[in-house]
Amino acid sequence: MRSGLALAVILGFSSLIAAKDGGRGKGSDDGNDDDGSSSTSSAASSTVTGTAVSGAAAGSNSTSGVTTGTVCEDYMCISGTINGSTTTYVMQSTGKAKLGWMAVGFGQTMANTPMVIMWPNSDGSITVSQRQAPSEVMPTLVSNPPRVATADQSGSDLTGTQPKLAFTIETSGGTSQPIIWAFSDTNPDSSAQDATIVQHLDSGPTTLDMSTSVSSGNTSDPVSDPNAKTGDNSTPMLQYQKMIVAHALLCTIGFLILLPAGALLARYTRTFHNAWFRGHWVFQFAVAGPVITAGIILGIDAVATQPSAQLADTHKKLGLALWIIYYFQCVLGFVIHRWKPLSWTVDKKRPAQNYGHAVLGLVIVALAFYEVRIGFHHEWDTLSGRPPIGKGADIVWYIWVALIPIAYLAGLALLPKQFRQERPSMKASQSEYPLQEGYTDEGRYTDRF
């Protein structure tokens, strides 16, 4: 038992230390290699028709020293061409969905990353809007960015099923550029640079390698570039992203594995062995407590590294509430076990707080299922800046949310036997209750969930 407790403490707090190793905050790993300051841009609308050579190459008769590169995602391809002090970026739809707007940002996460957002207008013009966001919220216009993006008419084309939008911007240095990208199929329906934009259909981080030399007369579109690389979104995780992952794992293990395990242990073993209560509290408090607490602390620290409020949404508020209720439940269980009312000691009637303890435990697990789901469905997307979690998480969640209640409900079939054991005045055969001899109700009087 002591070794189990030590293992739990080591598991919880070693994860806490490992995830926080290297210091809090983004530091030098914030990924905003392209521009270290807060920026977004204003841009004029330009009328664009037809196709042409990529702007960076077209602006000079010589391609000596000009380098380029392309990366493709499901809904869009992005190319970058470096020509001296100017870099031309071209965002092109793959035709998988109708174009609403496209964006590229110079960094690894949405928070505090300078972005260039572009969309076509009904009059044939293109709006270029340089924006920035403090977190995973709609980015807002920055009217005076340090690097101004300008629509490239020669590199843009609004015709066909694979329209492309191009802009030029001052070269930041280096041919390997960490970027974030976003594609939406909903047009803002306004040419204003500060127009409200609907959340993207798809997005993610990647790296654009622009080290390939440009051959003279290169007119390849990003979607047809034979040298285009497929985006794998494998940009290394930042420190706070690792903390989010550790938070999710520890809280899921604590709330959805250890707590249900302790509940099921009590439900199934209390009629067969007098030591059931010891196993119950070890699971519920000694093991789950350090794991859950370490996970909560990691979540709080991860949010603290970002410019967003600690209790800004349902996931954060419910998570804190669950943590508080969990410890209240532990204290309630201890009180019920140590101090028995006269209704039990004299009349052997089950006190109301025993039922309340059981019901509260079930409520905690039910809310934890909901909390985990909104965590990987919403919070991960909005806070981490990483690609969405795959459908496999949904499948596992649905299976687990069905198995735990079924297992618990099946255990309720033992209630009649439990009630009879808790009433020593009732006669029972030794064959039905092999533990009846020397039986004590000290460890059995309460319905812990």
Per-residue pLDDT at 259? 95
* Residues composing the chain: 449
Per-residue pLDDT at 2? 44
The larger pLDDT score, comparing residue 360 to residue 14, is at: 360
- What is the token pair recorded at 436? 């009846």
Residue in 76, 140, 143 with CA at minimum distance from that of residue 104: 76
Burial class (CB in 10 A: 0-12, 13-18, 19+), 51: middle
> Cα-Cα-Cα-Cα dihedral of 96, 102, 106, 109, to 10°?
-70
Residues 394, 398, 403, CA angle at the centre, nearest 5°? Answer: 150
Q: How confident is the model at residue 300 (pLDDT cuts 50, 70, 90)?
A: very high
Per-residue pLDDT at 27? 36
Is the pLDDT at 328 greater than 60? The verdict is yes
The mean per-residue pLDDT over the stretch 117-132 comes to 96
The mean per-residue pLDDT over the stretch 149-177 comes to 93
Locate the domains of the chain by residue range.
2-24+238-421, 40-230
Is the pLDDT at 119 greater than 80? The verdict is yes
The three-class DSSP label of residue 128 is strand
The mean per-residue pLDDT over the stretch 141-163 comes to 93
Per-residue pLDDT at 442? 43
Is the pLDDT at 435 greater than 60? The verdict is no
Beta-carbon count within 10 A of 283 CB: 22
The larger pLDDT score, comparing residue 295 to residue 138, is at: 295
Is the pLDDT at 30 greater than 50? The verdict is no
User: Which range is least confidently modeled, 170-174, 358-362, 382-386, 417-421?
Assistant: 382-386
Class in CATH terms, 2-24+238-421: mainly alpha
Q: Which 8-state DSSP code applies to residue 111?
A: B
**CB-based contact 104:128 (threshold 8 Å):** no
Is the pLDDT at 436 greater than 90? The verdict is no
Q: Do domains 2-24+238-421 and 40-230 have the same CATH topology?
A: no
Per-residue pLDDT at 122? 94
First to last CA, the chain: 21
- What is the token pair recorded at 6? 């030590």
Q: How high does pLDDT run on average in the chain?
A: 79
Is the pLDDT at 389 greater than 90? The verdict is no
Per-residue pLDDT at 448? 39
Share of the chain above pLDDT 90, in %: 49
Q: Which amino acid is at 177?
A: Q
> What's the rounded Cα separation, in Å, for the pair 2 and 51?
73
pLDDT tens track for 75-92:
999 999 999 999 999 999
Is the pLDDT at 289 greater than 90? The verdict is yes
364 Cβ neighbours under 8 A, 6+ residues apart: 255, 259, 322, 325, 326, 329
pLDDT tens track for 407-416:
999 988 888 8
Kindly state the helix (H) or strand (E) to which residue 440 belongs, with its residue range.
none
Per-residue pLDDT at 390? 85
pTM as predicted: 0.57
Residue in 125, 449, 414 with CA at minimum distance from that of residue 288: 449
**CB-based contact 147:46 (threshold 8 Å):** no
340 Cβ neighbours under 8 A, 6+ residues apart: 351, 445
**CB-based contact 200:184 (threshold 8 Å):** yes
- What is the token pair recorded at 414? 């033992």
> Cα-Cα-Cα-Cα dihedral of 324, 328, 329, 330, to 10°?
110
271 Cβ neighbours under 8 A, 6+ residues apart: 414, 417, 418, 421
Per-residue pLDDT at 59? 43
Class in CATH terms, 40-230: mainly beta
- What is the token pair recorded at 195? 């127009």
